Amino acid sequence: MSRAVLSIGSNMGDRLGYLRGVVDGFGDRVVAVSSVYSTPPWGGIDQDDYLNAVVLVDDPDLDCRDWLAEGQRMEQAAERVRVIRWGARTLDVDVVWCGTGTEPILSDDPVLTLPHPQARHRAFVLVPWLEVEPDAALPVDGAVRPVRELLAELAAEERDGVLRTELSLSGERGSAS
């Protein structure tokens, strides 16, 4: 019943391996995967840079909460520990957008707020999302806005910090620990 945009990131351990685990874990439900980007940490905590990507997934049998549950299961498998908000992590899987077709599902549920309330402020989400879905749009304050516009509104240093790497989440297997 749903399609989702998932933002994935890692800055501890086998960063690339954790991201590949997400893609492999969703298997044939994966519609598209962005390039891998290197990004500075967000939130003011001193830590290593992240590897980030966006994964588009689709499954007629899953709803938005199912995507969240699957992402949390993968985080647990990667031994994700939530100690410090915005702190270092082995794996982060966020449901950024969920909907049926191109129609977004809106939710103010504290367990799963949709769209992700901070997505519009994070170039590390918007840049890879635009790569795999150039016409992406995000509901913001009651209006649907093109993701391209939201990205253009961010500070240049926020956008410029999102650097495309040569790493891939499919095909050749390199290392980026």
Q: For residue range 139-156, list pLDDT tens digits in order.
A: 999 899 999 999 999 999
User: pLDDT, tens digit, for every residue of 4-55?
Assistant: 999 999 999 999 999 999 999 999 999 999 999 999 887 677 778 999 999 9
Alpha helices for 27-100 (secondary structure H) = 64-77
Q: Which residue has the tokens 């520990």?
A: 81
The per-residue pLDDT of the chain, averaged, comes to 90
Contacts 24+ apart (CB under 8 A), 148-152: 150/120, 150/126, 151/123, 151/126, 151/127
Give backbone dihedrals phi and psi of 8, rounded to 5 degrees, phi first.
Answer: -125, 145
User: pLDDT, tens digit, for every residue of 96-116?
Assistant: 999 988 889 899 998 999 999
Beta carbons within 8 Å of 117's beta carbon, 6+ residues apart: none
pLDDT, residue 102, reads 80
Compute the distance between CA of residue 18 and CA of residue 51 in angstroms, rounded to an integer: 10
Query: So what's the architecture of 2-164 in CATH?
Result: 2-Layer Sandwich (3.30)
Whether the full predicted model's pTM is greater than 0.75, yes or no, is: yes
pLDDT, residue 176, reads 45
DSSP per residue, 101-161: TTEEPPEE-SSSEES-TTGGG-HHHHHHHHHH-TT-EEEETTEEEEHHHHHHHS-HHHHHT
